Amino acid sequence: MTTYKFIGWGNSPFYQNFINKNGRKPQCADYAREQLRVVGVLVGGGSDPTNMYVYSEKKGANKVVLDKAIKYIKSELESGRPVFIGVDDAPNQKINEGTTDHFLVIVGMGNDKNGNYFQVYDNASGDVQDGTNSSNKLYHDEKKNIVEGKTNTSYSQGGQSV
């Protein structure tokens, strides 16, 4: 996905159109959904049957579901489609623990000295360089059975777990 299509926080006209249509300000999930919409990918709601709930802070990741989710993400990326994901931003902070509280868009994958990663756009940034930064990576640690990482936005400097 090219960076010129990035939908960042406060983006106009999306921001104002969203308020006019919904009567509230858009949140990160709304921006991530719009990010996908502009490239032709539609995202269902919280009860969509394709949703996979992989991680709970109390129980950790469900390996079977995590493996299924990783395969799905790779398949979608190989088909040229970005993927909408929910994460637990800054786990273990004693604030709304165990919940999905931030949303990202996976736009690519690769491998570097730290392992296998997913490249993400973080729409919580109003700055294209931060929101699409090449350091915005979530690493899949098969030994820990988790996907985690950080993005270059000030919102998510504490780290994120899928």
Tens-digit pLDDT string for the chain (162 aa) = 788 889 999 877 899 999 999 999 999 999 999 999 999 988 766 555 555 555 555 566 678 888 888 999 999 999 999 999 988 776 666 665 566 778 899 999 999 999 999 999 999 998 999 999 999 999 999 888 888 898 888 765 444 554
Q: How many domains does the chain have?
A: 1
Structural domain range at position 90: 6-155
d(CA 55, CA 77): 21
The set of residues, in sequence order, having a beta carbon less than 8 Å from that of 113 and lying 6+ positions away, is: none
pTM over 0.75: yes
Does 89 reside within a domain?
yes
Does 162 reside within a domain?
no
